[in-house]
Amino acid sequence: MVNPTKKAPGKPTEADGASPPSFDADVWTSLEAKMTKELDAYVTKSFNQLNNKSINNKAERAIHIASKEGHLLLLDSLLRHGVKTDVTNVDNQTPLHLAIENGQEKVAIKLIEKRQISLSITDKKGRSPLHVAVQKGQENVAIKLVKASPSLLPLADMENSLPLHYATLKYLPNAVKEILNQSGDKNVDHRDKSGETPLTLALKSLAKDSETEEKTKMMIIKLLVGHGADLTQRLYWSKQDSLPVLHHLVRQGRRDVLREVKTPWEVIINMRYEPQAGTLGSRSSTQQIPFGATPLYVAATAGSLKSVKFLLEKGADPNIGLSTGSSNEPPTPLWVALNKSHTDVAKALLKHDAKIDVEWQGSHMLHFAIEKTSAQCRTEVVKLLLSHNANLHQKDSSKRIPLIFAAEKGCISSLNALWDAHAKLELPETHAMDALKAICREGHHCCVALLYAKGADINTQDEHGYTPLHYAASYNRTDVINVLLSMGADRTVKAQTRQEPFEVAGTAEAVARASGHVDTAGLIKNWGQ
- Whether 279 is in a domain gets the answer no
- Whether 114 is in a domain gets the answer yes
User: Do residues 361 and 327 touch, judged by C-beta distance below 8 A?
Assistant: yes
Domain count of the fold of the chain: 2
The last residue of one of the domains, among 118, 138, 154, is 118
3-state secondary structure of 242: strand
Q: What does the pLDDT read at residue 19?
A: 46
How many other CB atoms are there within 10 angstroms of residue 405's CB atom?
25
The last residue of one of the domains, among 118, 142, 159, is 118
Q: Give the whole-angstrom CA distance, residue 402 versus residue 193.
A: 58
- Whether 9 is in a domain gets the answer yes
Q: Please tell me the number of Cα atoms within 13 Å of 84 on its side-chain side.
A: 14
Radius of gyration of the chain (CA): 40
Indicate the helix (H) or strand (E) that contains 241: strand 241-244
User: Which mean pLDDT values do the consecutive 10-residue runs of the chain (529 residues) have?
Assistant: 48 47 53 71 79 88 92 89 92 97 96 88 97 97 97 97 97 97 92 96 78 85 96 82 90 92 93 71 62 93 94 96 72 91 93 91 86 78 90 86 88 88 71 88 92 90 90 94 95 81 81 92 91
- Whether 100 is in a domain gets the answer yes
3-state secondary structure of 203: helix
Which residues make beta-bridge pairs with 363?
360
The last residue of one of the domains, among 64, 92, 118, is 118
User: Do residues 439 and 448 touch, judged by C-beta distance below 8 A?
Assistant: yes
- Whether 406 is in a domain gets the answer no
Q: How far is CA 154 from the centre of its chain?
A: 31
Q: What is the CATH number of the domain that holds 18?
A: 1.25.40.20
Q: 437: domain range?
A: 428-529
Cis peptide before 501 (omega within 30 of 0): yes
Q: What does the pLDDT read at residue 207?
A: 64
Q: 3-state secondary structure string, 298-315?
A: HHHHHCCHHHHHHHHHCC
Report H helices in 323-377: 333-339, 343-351, 365-372
How many other CB atoms are there within 10 angstroms of residue 203's CB atom?
22
Indicate the helix (H) or strand (E) that contains 518: helix 518-525
The CA distances from residue 173 to 18, 105, 179, 224, 255, in Å, are 37, 19, 10, 10, 20
- Whether 366 is in a domain gets the answer no
Q: Give the whole-angstrom CA distance, residue 33 versus residue 19.
A: 23
Q: What does the pLDDT read at residue 20?
A: 47
The C-alpha torsion from 371 through 372 and 377 to 379, rounded to 10°, is -20
Tell me the backbone φ, ψ of residue 241, rounded to 5 degrees: -135, 105
- Whether 515 is in a domain gets the answer yes
Which residues make beta-bridge pairs with 234?
244
Which residues make beta-bridge pairs with 236?
242
- Whether 399 is in a domain gets the answer no
